[in-house]
Amino acid sequence: MKTLILLLLVLLDLGLAQQRLHRVPLRRHQSLRKKLRAQGQLSEFWKSQNLDMIQFTESCTMNQDANEPLINYLDMEYFGTISIGSPPQNFTVIFDTGSSNLWVPSVYCTSAACKTHARFYPSQSNTYSALGSHFSIQYGTGSLSGIIGADQVDVEGLVVVGQQFGESVTEPGQTFVNAEFDGILGLGYPSLAVGGVTPVFDNMMAQNLVDIPMFSVYMSSDPEGGAGSELIFGGYDHSHFSGNLHWVPVTKQGYWQIALDAIQVGGAVMFCSEGCQAIVDTGTSLITGPSDKVKQLQKAIGAEPMDGEDFVDGMEFCSSGFQGLDIQPPAGPLWILGDVFIRRFYSVFDRGNNRVGLAPAVP
């Protein structure tokens, strides 16, 4: 039996090796939090936003149908480039497995955040179609709303035709003014899509742009630009991980949601002794969990509050990778395995078999 399983794995790997891998480079920028901290402006920023981050993260709730867990966008560091329309208009986006919509700022947006980012000009695209339907996405710090249009979307040579996407007309306050990204490209399941639009990857599959219905994410730990970080459509790259992939079934097709057997701290089970649910989310930078559990975890690892929103372990500006976030039923409670997890574990998202593959990432 072991020989048969090994043979099947070899055949699978050979099959993957013959498929086309479409690579999307991801760039790692210094996060906005780090920039503000280095300038001594972090505390002032939170005061200007009238936010108490500890209170905010504990009280944040999320409805699965229309809300996004983009609560710690200040820590986002990995971005890629796409283009929309013909001739192409370029945008920097987060490739987000925790949502399913594509949106970018519209030329008609007058919010302060839109003025600091690339905006889409529908009149300059020969392939644009005006659909006119309204969309709205609720974030922890405000709402994003606009209209839905359709155009071709180019992701490193993968050209999706007739892709519906959001053109944001209003963006919330100062939330995205200083963000490094223009918009978001969601890679979650269709059930998460606001407005009933078909997600980009679903259209990639339907238009036969990928040989295998899967994509994978490698986030390099290299602090200077994240050299080698990439998103691969159509398979995965063995050079990014060691050992074999461990496949975990998706338990609910919305987020990339999986079951955790337990959560250990120092080798002993501390939470989820009877199992719990988590999502693998490239659109969340940290690891989040129920606020009461995360408080216990922070205490267990010796972290202390700092500046009203950070935890440090005694070294200057050495931040804990955990944050409290209460996701209420029916979606929650959920733990979110964000970028600090994905940097350690190469992640493969298999839509064909509805499973997530994890293996230790090669630094």
Residues 6+ apart with CB under 8 A from 95: 24, 26, 78, 80, 185, 187, 217, 231, 282
Beta bridge partners of 359: 346
What the block records as the tokens of 67 is 């809300």
Beta bridge partners of 183: 93
Residue 41 half-sphere exposure toward CB, CA atoms < 13 A: 10
Query: Strand 158-170 relative to strand 304-306: parallel, antiparallel, unpaired?
Result: unpaired
Query: Strand 345-350 relative to strand 355-360: parallel, antiparallel, unpaired?
Result: antiparallel
Instruction: Find the helix or strand (DSSP H, E) in which 36 lies.
Output: helix 32-38
> How is 189-242 classified by DSSP, letter by letter?
-GGG-GGGPPPHHHHHHHTT--SSSEEEEE----TTT-TT-EEEESS--GGGBS
Residues 6+ apart with CB under 8 A from 257: 250, 251, 277, 278, 279, 334
What does the alpha-carbon distance between residue 303 and residue 313 come to, in Å, rounded to a whole number? 5
Beta bridge partners of 148: 166
Residues 6+ apart with CB under 8 A from 330: 64
Q: Is 144 exposed, middle or buried (0-12, 13-18, 19+ CB in 10 A)?
A: buried
- CA 269 from chain center: how many Å? 28
CB atoms within 10 A of CB 189: 21
CB contact at 8 A, 138 and 68 = yes
What does the alpha-carbon distance between residue 335 and residue 69 come to, in Å, rounded to a whole number? 11
Active-site residue numbers?
96, 281
